[in-house]
Amino acid sequence: MAAGETATLGGGCFWCLEAVYQQMEGVLAVESGYMGGSLANPTYQQVCSGSTGHVEVVQVKFDPAISSFRDILEVFFAIHDPTSLDRQGDDAGVQYRSVIFYRGDAHRQAAEQTIRELDVEKIWPAPIVTEVRAAGTFYPAENYHRDYFRNHSSQPYCAFVVAPKVRKFREKFAAKLRKEV
């Protein structure tokens, strides 16, 4: 991955998060994978079983001079439901939980502060359940997950689940779009 800061986020299916962050200005690279569980080198099938403790995540490398960690978090909270415990829409299980894996105290504090502020603003009818945890080992997802939305945008899941999140990002964060999008 390219140089810069790293954010590792879980908020449902990694295809959704990957598709959005690939379009964000200041994002240098996005990679889907797994983190947070006990099994080394898990496969997609093992993670989907819910027995590994891993979460589907995206690892986002970004240039903080263009998009800050707070900008990354702002998009994260806008494109998934952080009040749903272990689910996003029809995707249910611990592997779909909302989580921010931080690297360093500054990112931990920013994540916790953002959650406090959003809870106070009462944007959602329920409290935020997003976990804030220290980053562990990142396990890249299998190659067929790479650029999934770009390569399969007409597939039903992409058309009905991923595309609306991409549209929402583009409408809400037009100023944060990459120039080449």
**DSSP state, residue 8:** E
Residue from 41, 1, 11, 26 nearest 101 by CA: 11
13 given a catalytic annotation: yes
What amino acid is encoded at 90 in this protein?
Answer: D
Interatomic CA distance for residues 143 and 32, integer angstroms: 9
Among 13, 16, 48, 158, which one carries the catalytic annotation? Answer: 13
The DSSP call for residue 36 is S
Length of the chain in residues, anyone? 181
Q: How far is 69 from 20, CA to CA, in rounded Å? A: 15
For residue 59, give the 3-state DSSP assignment: strand
Residues serving a catalytic function are: 13
